[in-house]
Structure 1
Amino acid sequence: MAEGGSTTPPPAPETVNLDEVMGAPGSDCLYEKVKVLGSGSFGQAWLVRRKKDAKLLVAKLLDLSQMSAKDQKYVEAEIQCLASCHHFAIVRYEEDFSADPKMLIVMEFADAGDLNMQIKARAAEGFRYFEEHEVGYTFVQLCMALDHVHRNKMLHRDIKGANVLLMSSGLVKLGDFGFSQQYEDTVSGNVGVTFCGTPYYLAPELWKRQKYSKKADIWSLGILLYEMMALKRPFTGANMKPLMESILKGQIPPLPSHFSQDLRDLCISMLEPDPNKRPSIALLFQKPYLQKLLNDFEKSAAASTLIDADTKALIKENIQEAREMKPDSGTTTGAVGNFDKTVSYEGPIRKESNRVWKERYFMLKDGDLVIAVKKGDANTKGISVTTLASVVPVPFHAAKAEGVFALNTLDNKTMWMQAPSKAECQVWIHKIQQAMGIA
């Protein structure tokens, strides 16, 4: 981290020859192609083998020229978010490479498919339901993963069965932080205009054009829990209009009675239409049922011969993180969906300008972010929080400094700020998100 009045610049973007990074077996590259895992409008996902240790990984080759400017910004921000996560139940980020207009993202490979495939297969087999402990173990892992995301002042925005990847060890991995075409519209609130596919997992407040918040992630996880239990979705429709009407009407079909009342009640609580009454992850972990699931999962993982020692150590660390969570921790939320002009905060900060860090004084007040050369300076510049699309942490590997966060605006501009410490950075992000009505 830059000290005192240092003006150490952030690193310039590095570009590489992607043919030297990923190529055919036997070629002189870092990763050998094994097979194509999938293709989409923005590129391809490859199964690759890292030459230095023969480890199988996933390499996503994205064509940024096929994306809108806003989607490009979100991809960059979400790479930063994924790189900030260190959790056994989140797909591990390895590294990324840029060669304009292409980008290659290398991440962990999950070897047992995804949850959506499992749900569909069981439904096709005459509704062969999961056992309650199977649902519970998957759900508690996803709760811990989402807590980690929210604890780091981030949102997932695309929780669904296809983005829950499965391991043959029994662990699950939350992946794909918003790399879909649905992402831009979810964030901007233009629900149902240009969606690719049908947004079954979107919370009622999003259909009402309110901002995306952590509580919308909770709703999506609740829909997924319902789907794991019933092998079908609670809200359906032949097209957007009847689906929207079904979600806003809020009539939830009864869950299968062979599941415990505790699990059924847990699921229904997450599908509360009012985001301000919907529980946070922190409040969910206060429920005895989820605490028991956490204990049972801990014992099962510790005894497993399919989980390596390093992963077991990380599981232990992440479980302890979940246990230490309090209802008033950073994963809880206040009122969501509306801008809050009452939130205020101020302090010294560094602002990046033309790759130079400049000492500044930053103030959040009356719904505006105001920046001055020093405290008390009458000459200030400000922007309204209503112009912000997101505020996200920038990982050390990208910023080469601690305590850096990015302000991303609705008109596709990005500003990097550096707080005096990592803890202070977390406070700034949380305060700004509160003012935006998304925390």
Structure 2
Amino acid sequence: MSEPDVGMPPVKAQWYFRQLLNGLQHIHSMGVVHRDIKPENLLLTGQDILKISDFGMATVFRHSDRERMLNATCGTLPYASPQVIKGLYKAEPVDIWSSGIVLIAMLAGELPWDSASNDCPAYKEWVTGSVALTEANPWKKIDNAALCTLIKAMLIHDENTRATLKRIMEHPWTNADFGNSCFLYFLSCFLVYVVSALSYILNGLFTFHSIVF
């Protein structure tokens, strides 16, 4: 989805991020939590539509309006919330956290830390607010003020105060208009679709011609 150590343009990251949020909203509305959101589990169609895959770690957390706490340590460590690592957590904040890490990966092409635990120096710096903007971490590549507030809200250590899906979907960056960049990106997506469709049609005609003659 993004080039290692470089990332992708904000307009493209926003396009995928919005789709991820919509997917999570649907999943959570059914009382299901994914618990392993990461780039490897996000598939793209030929039309650049994002699909959430691999529900092997998913579980039901809400039934008949009753929610339960979860305690299984699962998922992928760099994307797992502090509560998942410890083994007792609420459901929805888990996917919010992982989505925040995915957003960083899309924008910066790298991950902020190896694990959200006190054993990880990079994460300790994040919690204490002592992160240094250097070439050795992704924060230097994320220089948009609105974007920074969004990421901070999604990666709050306390799951009870972590941003909700509703809050994230209403955030200024999520709804930002990137102007010409947005238009050019969607135009490129459309052209890719047209080229793919024409290629498919021409290949079909060539095959038909070969069979007939």
Task: Report the TM range for the smaller structure's normalisation.
Answer: 0.5 to 0.7
C-alpha deviations, 1:177-227, integer Å up to 9, x for none? 2x15x98xxx96353xxx7x9521111122333234101110010111111
Could you tell me which residue of structure 1 aligns to residue 167 of structure 2?
283
Could you tell me which residue of structure 1 aligns to residue 71 of structure 2?
189
Could you tell me which residue of structure 1 aligns to residue 126 of structure 2?
251
Alignment of structure 1 residues 229-308 onto 2, 5 Å: 229-236=107-114, 245-246=119-120, 249=124, 251=126, 253=131, 254=133, 255-257=139-141, 259-292=143-176, 300=186, 304=190, 306=193
Contact preservation (8 Å) 2:44, 2:51:
yes
Contact preservation (8 Å) 1:137, 1:293:
no
Distance in 2 between residues matched to 1:151 and 1:268, nearest whole Å: 24
Contact preservation (8 Å) 1:200, 1:243:
no
> Are residue 200 (structure 1) and residue 91 (structure 2) matched?
no
Alignment: residue pair count: 170
Cα deviation for residue 153 of structure 1 reads 2.3
TM-score (norm 1): 0.34
Q: CA 1:304 to 1:226, structure 2 compared with 1: closer, same or farther past 3 Å?
A: same
Bigger relative CO (Cα 8 Å, ≥ 6 apart):
2
Could you tell me which residue of structure 2 aligns to residue 228 of structure 1?
106
Cα deviation for residue 269 of structure 1 reads 1.4
Distance in 2 between residues matched to 1:251 and 1:212, nearest whole Å: 22
Higher helix share: 2
Question: Over the residues paired in the alignment, what is the CA RMSD in angstroms?
Answer: 3.4
Instruction: State the one-letter code of the partner of 2:148.
Output: R
> Are residue 219 (structure 1) and residue 65 (structure 2) matched?
no
Contact preservation (8 Å) 2:71, 2:89:
yes
Alignment of structure 1 residues 18-417 onto 2, 5 Å: 118-119=1-2, 122-123=3-4, 127-177=5-55, 179=56, 189-191=71-73, 199-236=77-114, 245-246=119-120, 249=124, 251=126, 253=131, 254=133, 255-257=139-141, 259-292=143-176, 300=186, 304=190, 306=193
Q: CA 1:258 to 1:154, structure 2 compared with 1: closer, same or farther past 3 Å?
A: closer
C-alpha deviations, 1:15-70, integer Å up to 9, x for none? xxxxxxxxxxxxxxxxxxxxxxxxxxxxxxxxxxxxxxxxxxxxxxxxxxxxxxxx
Cα deviation for residue 264 of structure 1 reads 2.4
* Structure 2: 5+ residue stretches without partners: 60-68, 134-138, 195-213
Cα deviation for residue 291 of structure 1 reads 2.3
Could you tell me which residue of structure 2 aligns to residue 423 of structure 1?
none
Instruction: State the one-letter code of the partner of 2:89.
Output: K
Q: Looking at CA atoms only, which structure, 1 or 2, has the larger radius of gyration?
A: 1
Contact preservation (8 Å) 1:229, 1:256:
no
TM-score (norm 2): 0.66
Distance in 1 between residues matched to 2:93 and 2:178, nearest whole Å: 22
* Structure 1: 5+ residue stretches without partners: 1-117, 308-439
The residue matched to 1:288 in structure 2 has which SS? coil
Could you tell me which residue of structure 2 aligns to residue 353 of structure 1?
none
4+ residue runs of structure 1 moved beyond 4 angstroms?
A: 293-297
Cα deviation for residue 273 of structure 1 reads 0.4
Distance in 1 between residues matched to 2:36 and 2:141, nearest whole Å: 29
Contact preservation (8 Å) 1:165, 1:173:
yes
